[in-house]
């Protein structure tokens, strides 16, 4: 696989490498679409590490992470979950949106994220000390938006934390061009639209326009869909279901292009 494209924003690469070297778990904080997953893919590739990704949601339990018994023919066999595999193989375990998962995963996280670096599997009675090169990275969308769960301070304080935000205009323009091959003037127009929407706090959006949405709009434009229509379907519509707000966003987009 080729190195995934990731534009370094700040000191994140060094922080990641030092966290790894010192066996410290890393928490990436920030809103959706700010490059957290891409960064982890990039670092896994750079360090030549196998990556196990778990997209956590409200049904994700410790069983999903650790493993379960399954029935195979006449036998019952144990199957390791992604956390157990990563711990044994010395891989990179990436728990995306960790706060969304069920609270029972916290027990597993605690023994794994402190000096013990041990995973207890109560169903099999095993305790596995993590391989030297095991690393845990998680993401968390801070709870200032409706609908996102909080991460308990006792869990949060077990991680080194790194904040992700929307990049400044020049960098975000570069990301759009590199990621999609769109022309510079189109990229700049999209960035302007993004900037205007991000400044419109009175719209009451749960989350504002992310780099991901701007990338999606650029992909559609590059593929030949008209500029305005691309922005409507990739930016205005995904941001809200409120019809008046969608109309306001469409007006803003039309005025900007």
Nearest approach, Cβ of 32 to ligand ADP (angstroms)? 4
Position closest to ligand ADP via CB = 35
- What does the chain come to in residues? 257
CB-nearer residue toward ligand ADP: 83 or 218: 218
Shortest distance (Å) from residue 154 CB to ligand ADP = 24
Give the shortest CB-236-to-ligand ADP separation in angstroms: 18
Of 82 and 167, nearer to ligand ADP (C-beta) is 167
CB nearer ligand ADP, residue 110 or residue 156 = 156
User: Least CB distance from residue 41 to ligand ADP, whole Å?
Assistant: 8
**Whether 155 contacts 106, CB under 8 Å:** yes
**Residue 128 or residue 209: which is nearer to ligand ADP going by CB?**
209
Query: In this complex, which beta carbon is closest to ligand ADP, that of residue 1 or of residue 255?
Result: 1
**Phi/psi class of residue 67: alpha, beta or left (left: φ > 0; alpha: ψ in -120 to 50)?**
left
Under the rule (CB under 6 A), what is the footprint of ligand ADP?
5-7, 9, 32-38, 175, 179, 211-212, 215
For residues 55 and 60, give the distance between their C-alpha atoms in angstroms, rounded to a whole number.
9
Question: Which residue, 202, 215, 214, 211, is CA-closest to 248?
Answer: 202
Name the burial class of residue 124, with classes exposed (0-12), middle (13-18) and buried (19+) by CB atoms within 10 angstroms of its CB. Answer: middle
Residue 115 DSSP label: T
Beta strands per DSSP E along 60-149: 67-72, 75-80, 92-96, 118-121, 126-129, 135-140
To ligand ADP, the closest distance from the beta carbon of 124 in angstroms equals: 33
């Amino acid at each position: 696989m080729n190195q995934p494209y990731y534009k370094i924003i700040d000191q994140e690469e060094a922080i990641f490498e030092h966290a790894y070297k010192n066996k410290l778990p890393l928490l990436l904080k920030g809103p959706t679409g700010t490059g957290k997953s891409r960064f982890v893919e990039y670092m896994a590739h750079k360090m030549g590490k196998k990556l196990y990704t778990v997209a956590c949601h409200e049904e994700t339990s410790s069983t999903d992470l650790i493993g379960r018994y399954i029935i195979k023919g006449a036998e019952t066999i144990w199957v390791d979950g992604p956390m157990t595999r990563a711990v044994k193989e010395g891989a990179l375990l990436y728990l995306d949106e960790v706060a969304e998962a069920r609270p029972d995963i916290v027990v597993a996280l605690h023994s794994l994220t402190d000096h013990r670096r041990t995973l207890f599997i109560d169903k099999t009675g095993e305790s596995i000390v993590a391989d030297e090169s095991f690393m845990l990275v998680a993401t968390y969308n801070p709870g200032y938006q409706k609908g996102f769960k909080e991460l308990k301070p006792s869990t949060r304080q077990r991680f080194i934390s790194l904040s992700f935000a929307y990049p400044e205009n020049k960098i975000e323009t570069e990301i759009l061009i590199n990621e999609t091959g769109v022309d510079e003037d189109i990229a700049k127009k999209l960035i302007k639209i993004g900037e205007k929407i991000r400044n419109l706090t009175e719209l009451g959006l749960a989350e504002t326009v992310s780099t991901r949405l701007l990338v999606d709009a650029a992909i559609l434009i590059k593929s030949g869909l008209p500029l305005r229509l691309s922005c409507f379907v990739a930016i205005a519509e995904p941001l809200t279901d409120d019809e008046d707000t969608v109309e306001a966003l469409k007006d803003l987009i039309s005025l900007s292009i």
